[in-house]
Structure 1
Amino acid sequence: YGLGFNKIPMYCDNKSAIALCCNNVQHSWSKHIDIRYHFIKEQVENGVIELYFVNTEYQLADLFIKALGRDRIEFLINKLGMRSFTPDTLKQLMDEVDE
């Protein structure tokens, strides 16, 4: 129908995974990869997804999948544009709504 769309950016901190998805050569050492992981490779080949490398330090998904220290959590929350409320701040906000 002539409709165009932008590729979906996907950020990955594993250069080997990016290389496997972007290279059409099948290697003997990659044959053990589960079939479900080939979905991303197919989407890259179809032009739906574009893979980008991001250093582990800036991997924002870590906030949701890893146990992190307070400083690291605050850094990632800030990068995502999120806000972190203390229990006292939440109580103040609730009191304002009740008034």
Structure 2
Amino acid sequence: MSDSVYQNILTRQDGRVGVVQINRPKALNALNTPTMAEIMDALATFDVDDGVGCMVLTGNERAFAAGADIKQMATASVAEMLNTPFIDLWDRLKAIRKPV
């Protein structure tokens, strides 16, 4: 898996462990929609890789994740928040077969 395809995360494989590292240190790894999409894509890729037995989702520097990215939410209406893919991206985590 190549890190170059992602802007907000880093990925690597350590033996049979797929590692997904959130990499937005200036935002304390706050989770916005693009970051969540990258996380779920990386986990799904590791999930179908027979050389990977489990995955680790980690942060970096000072934080695992600050939570949802308030800056993204601040400009959205209630309707926009309800129609965002953000929650659907979290739901994709349930479909991952391997331990995370």
**Structure 1 length-normalised TM:** 0.24
Q: Answer 1 or 2: which has greater helix percent.
A: 1
**Structure 2 length-normalised TM:** 0.24
Structure with greater Cα Rg: 1
Q: Answer 1 or 2: which has greater strand percent.
A: 2
